[in-house]
Amino acid sequence: MASILARDDDGNQIVRTMIAEGSSTYKAKLFSFMSSKAGSIYSKDRTGLDLGETHIHFYSSSAEIIFQEAGYETETEQEYQTRITANCVKTICCYDSKTTYWLRGADFQLKVIPTESVFLYATMAQHIPAQYGGDVRFMDGGYDLSYLTEQHNVINCDGGAAVKVICDEVNCSHRLSVQLDHPVGFQLSLQVKVRQYT
């Protein structure tokens, strides 16, 4: 009886595992940033062109710290950084892909391990309430980065299967927010690798 299963020359069944839909191709997206540091995002292509898919926000214990906001209309970039250093306790770096993709997971890597507790969170559509399909907590509970070591400085989050993330430029429901809660003005560099298929 003939087999409808694909087999190699030795008669072994050939198995093709699908991670994402159709003929999707693996394409990691990387970006790095520093907490409490304006202008610290790095996310460029091999020619040095900014990919334009990431942005950063800084928060005090009560509100977002915005460049030249009301009351600070004439501040310089240096004065803005001074204000961040004196007040920032939460840094959020957002990744807004320009295309629909399949998300498998992400890796978070530190160059220097903090001696104080710094908590890491990762959330899809953090700005949209859960009852409307947002606030999907990819990493919840707060990963204390001070538990890492120089030998083990990477947090690997593998979903096992990929989830389709549809590019939504109106509501930004595809936004991945990487949040660091840290001591006032604390500066810590973090590299993020989003494992995705396009």
For residue 174, give the nearest of 154, 155, 198 by alpha carbon.
198
pLDDT, tens digit only, all 198 positions of the chain: 455 667 778 877 765 555 666 657 888 999 999 999 999 999 999 999 999 999 999 999 999 999 999 999 999 999 999 999 999 999 999 999 998 988 889 999 999 999 999 999 999 888 889 998 888 888 889 999 999 999 999 999 887 777 888 888 888 888 999 999 999 999 999 999 999 988
The position carrying tokens 């399949």 is 102
Residue 83 — φ and ψ, nearest 5°?
-70, -40
| CATH 2.60.120 describes domain 29-197 | yes
What residue spans define the domains of the chain? 29-197
Q: Which residues contact 186 (CB under 8 A, 6 or more apart)?
A: 35, 36, 114, 116, 118
DSSP secondary structure code for residue 139 in this structure: E
